[in-house]
A and B are shown apart, each in its own frame.
Chain A
Amino acid sequence: MVTQDTHAQPEPQWVDEVLLAGPGDRACLVLGAPVTREELRGLVSRRQEVLTAAGLRRGGAVALNLPPSLAFVANLLAVWRIGAQASLLDHRLTPYEVDRAVQRLAPQAVVAAKHTGGGPLRGFHEVEEQVSVYPGRPAETDHALIQLSSGSTGPSKVIGRTAADLIAEIERYTRIDGVPRAGERIVSLASVVHVLGLVGGLLYGLHADAQLVIPARMTPLDILAAVAGGPEPTTLLGVPFHIELLASVADPPPLPQLTGMTTGGELVRAQIYKAFVDRYRVRLGNMYGMTEVGVIATDLFGRNRPAVEPAPGLTVREEGGELRIAMPRSPYVGDTDPARWSDGWLHTKDAGSVDPGTGLVRIHGRLDSQVSVGGLKVDLTEVEHTLADLPEVAGAVVVHDAAIEAYVVLRDNGVTRDRINKDAALESVQRRLAARLAAYKRPRVLHVVEQLPRTATGKLVRDRARLAAPSPNPEGKPSMTSTDEIRAFLLESLREMNYDTSDIEDDTTFGPAGANLESLALAELAVRMEDRFGVRFDDDEAETMAAMTVGELCAAVAERAATASAPSL
């Protein structure tokens, strides 16, 4: 473990110099009503007075538990202008999660919503905030911003960024071709309480004098209305879900001001990408980043898809199949896990490669249990541990494909044997989960199973296809294998082999024109399919599979698996 020992404090004037400078009479924010920079300065000053009156001083520490709102912006800038440290707590966290976070962070005050006007799909909220003083302690590091990753215990969970880090990221944005410039607009669908919306939208927009607009509701009509709300060149900023949402609009209105859309996160399927570009006739770009660093690499014009180009000033390299980012100092507050940062390099836990000739980066997937739900990061380990700790649960495995799903064995204490009591136990599980985990972290589906499959060495199996497989029938014969099950297993296998499966469809071939699997990878895939489904491939299996599509292979495996003597394909 490496222990952080820096105790310097941020210089507060950066807020005025980097964020609040600029013409006072132009609207810099539009959250329903436009807010000029002069009005924002006034709001920040007033919040500064309130926070100071509550006892906050330079070097102090505050937690903000506010939804996206003008109140959030004003309080955040006020905390920084005082020279204090702001910890951001997602407003969707449960009181249980907030309590644990506050215990860990020990801020001197928490700013939360006293009343909030808002509901589902709101892009921003009308908030009346209140400041609660806590018996916490001043900031122990020089970080201006503290964010928690999913799961609040263990090392490398608390991420800190200094004012200099934030300014450096803003500077990176200014040097990336394709980002909005002064006088333009950013319609942000990405929350301002997380790094893309916070730095790429709010802070960069304030710095560059690009107006930040947040739609009233996150529906296509409201989003497109926000784009149409001004004549200035406009960029949409969001996550992949928003591409799919907007691509589904059959007949969007003419939007001559829309210059492009940029999303952070995984690539969308090729057909969604094409549908969006065909519909709006604008560039669709992608960004790769992390809370620890901010923006890392971009492909804002879709020229290098699926690869991305490192942002100016950042060094990315591959080590043992993992992407690493040059970072002189650990971004983690408190103990740093050497598996997350060591010797000046951040270990991203993203599988990837760097082209030695062009420097372009490809990301193949996660190397740990972190997944993305609508752009929010969720550590499946946290969900699994929370579930397994419940009194009604004897064991649980949590997996993610299109959504988080849990396979649960209920505790056989004599009350879960009949159907009524099983349902009651499940209701109790859901109620307890709702109290402990924010909605976006909770499993969408709870599958109750009699037992969880394990490997020969007793480890729990996390393969969705095996978890979903029905129990053997009374005769002991395996049940019919569906092509869906085979497809799920195939895609999961490819991801485990560090292949990006986001563009793989049923008509994708395995050869160079499709998924482009090398012969060794094809051989490994064949072995996995043989082991899993009891089929057999002939000696020239690689060549046979390379010419097949995913759909053809799944159908062939299903057919062979259904027969007792599995002949060669």
Chain B
Amino acid sequence: MLYKKYKRHVFRFAPVIIIGLLLTTLPTFTDLAIIGLFTKILIFALLVMSLDLLVGYTGLMAFGHAAFFGIGAYTTGILIKHYDILSFWLSAPAGVLMAVLAACIFGVIALRVSAIYFLLITLALGQLVFELANTSLGKLGALTGGSDGLGGIPYPEIGFSFSFSPNSFYYFTWVTFIICALLLYWITKSPFGYSLQGIRESEVRARALGYNTWLYRYIAFIIAGLFSGIAGVLYVHYNGFISPEGVGMGASGLLWLMLIIGGSGTLWGGFIGSGIILSLQYFISGFTPQRWPLILGVCFVGVIMSYRGGIMPQLNILWKRISHDGSP
């Protein structure tokens, strides 16, 4: 029977389809605050997934990933705010391009060293971007707004005399997220993606097989920069405001927490991690904003000490069990 033949596939994709349907129909049954929250979750999910490409698949411990996000956001914001380039089709690619450019430069510097030193150097480079955004002096300060941040950025203008509402911007983000996530998925399942995993497992072996491991890592670094740039552009339109706090070490660390909670090396774990952390932040900051960093720190330590695998692998196992025992 047809049903029996495709049962396994139906089961395999059932959770994806259900979550997809829920997210697609979300604006019909929730209020604006929740839609805003989910827009943010999708943006950060994309960001964490791009980090996962580096951490989980390539084995590069990048601790300055928010920098590319910030560069994308700031470039787009500055173009709109100070140069009156309002068209989304000009300002957004410019933001993404700057993020890619930064990744090209940072990659050359950071990939000179490996392992824990790579982490230190990406951290320092990320903080360089933070300082660039944070300085209030000179022409740069006038452009970025210094420590006050850059505000007043409207929803994107995509032409066709269409203007965004929170609902339609949510759909815009959702569609962008799907496209980027599928691209990332395709990259990780391509020969290139498997080569990255081979390099992660044993660089010496990959090199002996004739792979230019440096180039593979460099390209992965640039791809990750590209997707975080896209997330940055989306975020600056969503939030209307970007400040140095969104760029520095704290932001990069938060991405790491999302990644670890979701499970690194799973790609979709990024979505789960971002959803959990941002929902927690949304609800906890509601009644005790002062203690949120403390709770975040305890989450960090607790998750890493006790639950290092992340949620996504556990969900995978659980789902496999259900779909094999599968009642109907």
A complexed with B: no
